[in-house]
Amino acid sequence: MDICTGGGGGGENYEKTPAHEKYFMKFNQRLRRCPNQIMRYAYSGTPLWPYPQPKSLTIPPCSCGKSRVFELQLLPTLLAYTNIMEDAFAMIDKRSNTIQTKVVESVDWATVAIYVCPDSCKHSDEEVVVIQMPHANTVKRSAGGYRKI
* Residue 44 within any structural domain of the chain: yes
Residue 92 structural domain: 36-148
* Residue 2 within any structural domain of the chain: no
Q: What pLDDT does 28 receive? A: 87
* Residue 119 within any structural domain of the chain: yes
The beta-carbon contacts of 112-115 under 8 Å, at least 24 apart in sequence, are 112/73, 112/74, 113/47, 113/49, 113/70, 113/72, 113/73, 114/70, 114/71, 114/72, 114/73, 114/74, 115/59, 115/68, 115/69, 115/70, 115/71
pTM value > 0.85 = no
Q: What pLDDT does 8 receive? A: 47
**Span 80-103, mean pLDDT?**
57
Q: What pLDDT does 121 receive? A: 87
Task: Please state, in angstroms and as integers, the Cα–Cα distance from residue 148 to each residue in 49, 85, 131, 143, following that order.
Answer: 17, 23, 10, 12
* Residue 41 within any structural domain of the chain: yes
* Residue 126 within any structural domain of the chain: yes
**Span 91-98, mean pLDDT?**
52
* Residue 18 within any structural domain of the chain: no
Q: What percent of the chain has pLDDT over 90?
A: 19
- Choose the weakest-confidence range: 15-19, 40-44, 135-139: 135-139
- Number of domains comprising the chain: 1
* Residue 26 within any structural domain of the chain: no
Q: What pLDDT does 68 receive? A: 93
Q: How confident is the model at residue 5 (pLDDT cuts 50, 70, 90)?
A: very low
